[in-house]
Amino acid sequence: MGKLARTRIKGVKIGHAQDADALTGVTVIAFEGGATASLDARGSSPGTRETELLRPGKTVERVHAIVLSGGSAYGLDAAGGVMKYLEERGIGVAVGDVRVPIVPQAIIFDLGIGNPGVRPDFKMGYQACQSLSEQFELGNYGAGCGATVGKIMGPQNSMKSGIGYHEMNFENGLQVGALICVNAVGDVFDETGIIAGALNPDGGFADTAGIILGGVDAREFMNGNTTIGCVITNAKLDKALCQKVSEVAHNGLAQSISPIHTSMDGDLIFTAATGEIQCSIDQVCIAAQTAVRNAVISAVKNARSAGGIKSIRDISAADA
């Protein structure tokens, strides 16, 4: 078992399911009383399900779960299993005698690692719901099972990433958490510099942004990306304000991944609000930005090597 995180946001539970041999998985964020939600997609290659409902002006106001998964477009099948789990518990929008759970989803491309013939499906989505809890694993779990970063020198010179979480709790009662699956073309950095990314043959970091700025067109090495995640808060927000939070939250990606939002990334951030606390939208936005940045760093620091791909632990051990 990897390092555990915990969300203290009332009514929110998170669950994973994964195939550690095939290196793919699914993560579910479930909202006991539903949540107002929206999103902002900045990358050029997103893969999604049920996201149009989240736009301001659309009829549905609340979602019941949000799904993050691997498997590229094939992984969109996982939301069906989540819907089944929720329907069995009477959760969803009432349409006559039927309950229809609202379950938006975003995917990463992880078919270049592990077994590309195994993808998150209906069964795996259902299994992720069976593990829903306030406590959950970080790193090579759920949607982060097959996540990698730093692809520009080829997959053999990329590094293992995963799923990370960071939560902030304030004196006025506001809570803001960020759950991020990091599968970027670019490198991940903190205040010390690059900590995970494309590796040179000698083992040092290649500096993806610098290579691209140098005029190298390495798109053939940049397939299989996208950083996705969800900001979770107990603030009272409508869909338009949730969208605003997602927009600002992307700054957290820019503060921890370079380059970000490339033509080969599908970067997307949901925001889901449970509606407990009235507070300044700017407080929520700044907290979201900070939480996203720290969640990205958490994702790579909790990753373990897999599929022949090194992790930050291997690099740190070599430097010791």
Query: What CATH number is attached to the domain comprising 310?
Result: 3.60.70.12
Euclidean distance between CA atoms 226 and 44, whole angstroms? 9
Report how many domains make up the chain: 1
pLDDT tier for residue 1 given thresholds of 50, 70 and 90: low
Residue 7 has pLDDT above 80, yes or no: yes
- Per-residue confidence (pLDDT) for residue 170, from 0 to 100: 97
What whole-number percentage of the chain has pLDDT above 90?
80
CA dihedral 270, 275, 281, 285 (to 10 degrees): -30
Instruction: Work out the average pLDDT over 225-234.
Output: 96
Question: Three-state SS for 257?
Answer: strand
User: Any idea which of 1-15, 231-245, 289-303 has the lowest mean pLDDT?
Assistant: 1-15
Q: Smallest Cα–Cα separation from 194: which of 183, 178, 203, 205? A: 205
- Per-residue confidence (pLDDT) for residue 216, from 0 to 100: 73
Question: Token pair 């990306």 is at which residue?
Answer: 225
Residue 317 has pLDDT above 60, yes or no: no
- Per-residue confidence (pLDDT) for residue 320, from 0 to 100: 35
Q: DSSP letter for 246, please.
A: H
The model's pLDDT over 140-184, given as tens digits with 9 standing for 90+, comes to 999 999 999 999 888 889 999 999 999 999 999 999 999 999 999
Residue 220 has pLDDT above 70, yes or no: no
Residue 82 has pLDDT above 50, yes or no: yes
Rounded to two decimals, what is the model's pTM?
0.95
Residue 19 has pLDDT above 70, yes or no: yes
Range of the domain at 219: 4-319
Instruction: Work out the average pLDDT over 57-68.
Output: 93
Amino acid in the structure at residue 195: I
- Per-residue confidence (pLDDT) for residue 218, from 0 to 100: 60
CB neighbour list of residue 85: distance below 8 Å, 6 or more residues apart: 125, 126, 129, 130
